[in-house]
Structure 1
Amino acid sequence: MADSSASDTHALTPPQRLVVTIAILASFVTSLDMSVTNVALPRISAELGGGLSTQQWVVDSYLVTLSALMLLAGSIADAYGRVFIMRIGLIGFGIASIAVGLAVSPEMMIIARALQGAAGAFLLPSSLALITSRISGPAQGRAIGTWTAATTGAMIIGPLLGGLFTDYLSWRLVFLINVIPIGLTLWMLVKLRGTDDRKRGVRIDWWGGAAAAIGLGLAVWALIEEPAHGWASPTIWAPLAAGVVLLGGFLWWQTRVASPILPLSLFTVRNFWVGNLATLFIYAALSLNGFVIGVYLQNPNGPALTATLAGLASLPITILMVLLSSKVGALAGRYGPRFFMSVGPLLLGIGALLLLRVDAPFSYWWQVLPSMIVIGLGLSIMVAPLTAAILGSIGPERSGIASAVNNAISRVAGLIVIALLATIVGGQLDLSGFHSAAIVTGSLFFAGAIVSFLGIRNPRAAATS
């Protein structure tokens, strides 16, 4: 239940702050592990073996299970309660994180990362749904802005933490220390008062979840391995065709099953489908940008920065996100999301194209820092309004599945763009490949800005019309 005393003010009450803190901690570890891996990839590859394909799989094995199972987890969270599902996700994520930190081969690393993604699928949708189900009114905009700043900040600060651990301790500790925030969150859940909201009579669509997971996995396998085998090889076209058929069957099944994990009726709501289309473009660009910067800046034939310096490159983005996101979330709650969702991706696109200035001799201050500042401003303006617009268009009784769909789409976007990395950079992440990635990144951001400007409607304007 939302606090009625807080419904008419932007300030959060102590119980609401506890809800936001739990939601932040629960999603922090999943967001952190998605970004911390990028900067550690060269060292992981050197220690465990494998080239660009292995590096792609270390990222995408996590994203495959996270993306595919998030939809199923959203339905389970609605049926059995957000707090209960959050506990399961936290325990599973902790166990999988230990396995990642102890990996002794690329195969063990990839399998453990897949298990980590599966557990993470139970955390992201349930954490945000916990906020939307227990906080309402203007305070919800501030709560979502705070949650967004922290979780997105985790994705940005991840490279810095990964760099510090990789250079001075071990990349393995980045995953092993997950047990600390996980244990803290489990302890705070005990202090959370109120009933665990759940929907009665919900039947879980296990077949749909399996079809989505297997279909995504097969398609990603084909996209990652295609440069090594070619499209004519049965190793590529057979799993790709099977994956497409399974995903098509999954969509068909969602129109037939009583309790779909992807309710297609959600996409009849304008701000929901437009916001998720914008999410697809924007988060594909963010994933591509994070991967490429983290790896290229450590290229021995390029900038040759240490892992720590490569992680520090994105620090301005983190600072701006922490300073501005909560305030922007409150402003978007007052004036509507359309302006922020249009201007934010536009700035992000400009920031991405500024990376075309990177050349030899390399200078972070003149070639990279301006891009990081503009990207930080764009993210701060865009992320909280985007989340609020999508979830605000759907009733609180379906907040779990709505959150799961949006999170799944953002992860699928990253999954696909990383799978296509070799095609985007021309097979090698040198200076030319880095510039190609910057152009693709900027184009994706601009597409998100156009979609938002043309499609998003402010709630008051929509109600008036």
Structure 2
Amino acid sequence: MTPGPPPRRQTRRQAGLVLTACILASSLVGMDSLMTTVALPAVAGDLDAGLAVQQWIVAAFLLAVGSLILVGGALGDVYGRRPVFAAGTAGFGAAALVCAVAPTSGVLVTGRLLQGAAAALLLPSVLAVITAAFDEADRSRAIARWSAWSGLSVIAGPVVGGLLIDALSWRAVYWAELPCAAVVVALILRATPPGDGTAGASVDLAGAAFAVPAVGGPAFYLIQSPRSGWGDPLTLTALVAGIASLAAFLAWERRARTPLLPPALFRIRAFAAINATTFVLYGALIACGTYTILFLQENLGYGPAPAGIAGAVPIMVLFVLSGRFGALADRHGGRPFIAGGSLLAGLGMLLLLRADAGTSLWTVVLPSVLVHGLGLAMLVAPLTSGVMSAAPADRAGVASGINNAIARIGSMMAIAVLGVVISVRFSAELDDGLARAGIAAPDAAVLDAARERPLSDEPPAALPDDERAALEPVLADASASAFRTGAGAAGALAVLAGAIAWAGYRDPKAAAYDAAGTLGCPITGARDHVEAPPIGSRAAQPAG
């Protein structure tokens, strides 16, 4: 006789443990990214890291996640969500240990790259594991709880990170992740049922092999060239290799049986437009947030905790108001909210054009982050739901994964591009400032050291006290000018994103999916069919 199902109480208890594991896992990744951003100035001081290294600490994580997250979802389909989820979480914890003990900036960047690869395994499994653990009657409530608690933890991330750094060290940020990762792995192994892989499914590993250098090569060129020279053979080689890999990736995806980026999806106008908006907009948001936190600490002298509070404000506004704007978008259509929210976010960034070397966090930066947080609250829910509804219903899961990857790749590329803008502006302003002040230019090594940290007003330690005192106001003004230029560029990108959304996106609810019959073979990552939730629901909020 076949044994019956376990008692309902046991099933609910296991489902509760699964939900706890998913909340902790999403919180772990979300808090990590924001805490790392707050920690960058402390890392720079401890490991003698310039702007290029600070960029790579953030960009390495985004590079790995953006390039591999679709592979992570496919691996979950092939081998089962339980082992992939557990492996990703364990790998994330192991990589956090590498970051915590890193003796050099190179080891730290390697640790961040490994954390990104582990997060690419972890993140796609979260929502699928919740979906499998709860029956239809309880699933929406479980997803809402997961979204709410994960959102609250992300809000806390910059503040908690700032307090840990102030009280202990930047390394404490990564030490704190170890017990959390261990608890998640234990819960996964205890409560998540095994055996949910799909026989015969495959993974586009060749596409992933092309995707990583296709994204990383141009990023390496943009981040390293301001220091090594735009014609440096190493950086040029990376750029050429990246372009060649991109061409190979696009050619491969057209004939792969299970492509990472199904070309037919991008023939749907709404899907293409909303992903173009995501690429530009999230790049502007993440890059501007990163450099604002650096400027607050390195130029204005605020500690990690106040800088963390500034980083948390837009997320708090998003968390409180996005559901209300989502409900309005459900009634009136998402297009005006996506375009209008992008424009408002850009306006918030452009408010930073008032920043100078004596700027106050409370009178300049706080109004800026409040306004761009309001814009973010307007657009995130309709944008996320729009991605899922722009694709045919049996491709919504893959569509969401693609949008997630594009957001992270856009963020990484914007960090690289705005870093170039900031570095070039700083160098020009530094030379002009020295001439206006009548200060004899320090030797080349001193100037090179100053250019390594273009958002800092701290003169190189090797200078005598009198020369340091004369150089400090010049550096402060040059870094403030460089920051304003970067903020202006980010604001312009957000405005561009709004224009792309307005011109190219139409609400797909009333549109027939004319490309639905041209998608070819099912994509591994879309095995779980995900219907687009109402725009105003918690389930429509972005995961991780």
Shift of 1:247: 1.4
The 8 Å contact of residues 262 and 405 in structure 1, kept in 2 or not, is answered as yes
Judge which range, 316-325 or 369-378, deviates more.
316-325
Q: Deviations over 1:285-338 (max 9, x none)?
A: 111112111110012xx3111111111223432332232234444554565432
Query: Which residue matches 1:341?
Result: 338
Distance 2:238 2:247 in 1: 14
> After superposition, what is the alpha-carbon deviation per residue over 1:50-109, rounded to whole angstroms, capped at 9, x for unaligned?
211111121122222122111221222333343442222111111111111111111211
* Residue 133 of structure 1: how far off its partner (Å): 7.5
> Tell me, what secondary structure is at the counterpart of 2:297?
coil
Partner AA of 1:384 in structure 2: A
* Structure 1 residues 138 and 221: CA distance shift in structure 2, 3 A: farther
Q: 1:439 aligns with which of 483, 488, 493?
A: 488
The answer as to 2:377 corresponding to 1:380 is: yes
User: What residue is the counterpart of 2:302 in the other structure?
Assistant: 305
Residues 1:47 and 2:26 aligned together: no
SS at match of 2:108: helix
Structure 1 equivalent of residue 497 of structure 2: 448
C-alpha displacement at 1:362, in angstroms? 2.2
Alignment partner, residue 172 of structure 1: 171
Matched residue type, 1:320: V
For 2:400, give the aligned amino acid: S
Equivalent position of 2:102 in the other structure: 103
8 Å contact kept, 2:326–2:382 = yes
Amino acid at match of 2:501: S
Between the aligned partners of 1:276 and 1:141, the Cα distance in structure 2 is 26
TM-score when normalising by structure 2: 0.75
- Tell whether the 8 Å contact from 2:82 to 2:194 is kept in structure 1 after alignment: no
Structure 2 CA distance for aligned equivalents of residues 25 and 198 of structure 1: 23
1:171: Cα distance to partner?
1.3
Matched with 1:159 is 158
Per-residue deviation at 1:250?
Answer: 0.9
The 2-side partners of 1:192 and 1:433 are apart by 51
In structure 2, relative to structure 1, the CA distance for the partners of 1:397 and 1:464 (3 Å cut) is closer
Does 194-203 or 442-451 show the bigger shift? 194-203
Question: 2:365 & 2:312 partners in 1: Cα distance?
Answer: 11
Q: Does 1:361 align with 2:358?
A: yes
2:210–2:245: 8 Å Cα contact kept in structure 1?
A: yes
Identity value in percent? 37
Q: For the Cα contact (< 8 Å) 1:353–1:442, is it kept in 2?
A: yes
Deviation at 1:340, TM superposition (A): 2.6
CA separation in 2, counterparts of 1:379 and 1:153?
A: 16
What is the SS of the residue equivalent to 1:104? coil
Shift of 1:149: 6.2
Aligned partners of 1:91 and 1:131: how far apart in 2? 19
Bigger Rg, which one: 2
Distance 1:146 1:337 in 2: 24
Structure 2 vs 1, CA of residues 274 and 148 (structure 1 numbering), >3 Å: closer, same or farther? farther
Give the unaligned 5+ runs of structure 2.
1-11, 427-453, 456-478, 515-544
- More displaced 10-residue stretch of structure 1: 168-177 or 390-399: 390-399
Contact 2:351 2:364 in 1 (8 A): yes
**2:86–2:189 CA contact under 8 A, matched in 1:** no
Please tell me whether the aligned partners of residues 212 and 250 of structure 1 are also in contact (alpha carbons under 8 angstroms).
yes
Distance 2:490 2:497 in 1: 11
- The CA distance in 2 between the partners of 1:231 and 1:32, in whole Å, is 35
Change (3 A) 1:203 1:445: same
Encode CA deviations 1:336-392: one digit per residue, 9 max, x unaligned: 432332222122111111112223532222212211211221222222222221123
- Larger mean Cα displacement after TM superposition, 129-138 or 348-357: 129-138
| Counterpart position of 2:200 | 201
Matches within 5 A, 1:290-301: 290-299=289-298
Show the counterpart of 1:254.
253
Larger displacement relative to structure 2 (271-280 or 313-322): 313-322
Change in Cα spacing, 1:270 to 1:257, as seen in structure 2 (3 Å) is same
Cα 1:277/1:312, change in 2 over 3 Å: same
Contact 2:273–2:501 (CA under 8 A) maintained in structure 1: yes
Give 1:278 shift.
1.0
Contact between 2:218 and 2:238, CA under 8 Å: does it hold in 1? yes
Task: Give matches, 1:66-81, under 5 Å.
Answer: 66-81=65-80
Structural mapping, 1:53-452, within 5 Å: 53-130=52-129, 157-189=156-188, 198-299=197-298, 302-329=299-326, 332=329, 336-394=333-391, 397-425=394-422, 426-427=425-426, 428-429=454-455, 430-452=479-501
Kindly report the root-mean-square deviation, in angstroms, between the aligned alpha carbons of the 2 structures: 3.1
- Cα distance between partner residues in 2 of 1:52 and 1:80: 40
8 Å CA contact 1:341–1:385 kept in 2: the answer is yes
2:141 and 2:490 map into 1 onto residues whose CA distance is 29
> 2-side partners of 1:142 and 1:337: how far apart?
24
User: Relative to structure 2, which stretch is displaced further, 310-319 or 343-352?
Assistant: 310-319
Deviates more, 1:175-184 or 1:19-28: 19-28
* TM-score computed with the length of structure 1 as normaliser: 0.86
Structure 1 residues without counterparts, runs of 5 or longer: 1-12
Structure-1 separation of matches of 2:376 and 2:341: 6
Letter in 2 for 1:177: A
Tell me: CA distance 1:331–1:97, structure 2 relative to 1, closer, same or farther (3 Å): farther
User: What is the one-letter code of the residue matched to 2:62?
Assistant: L
For 2:506, what is the secondary structure of its paired residue? coil
Q: Which amino acid aligns with 1:211?
A: F
Alpha-carbon distance in 1 for matches of 2:296, 2:201: 49
Higher mean C-alpha displacement, 278-287 vs 181-190 = 181-190
Matching of residue 461 in structure 1 with residue 510 in structure 2: yes
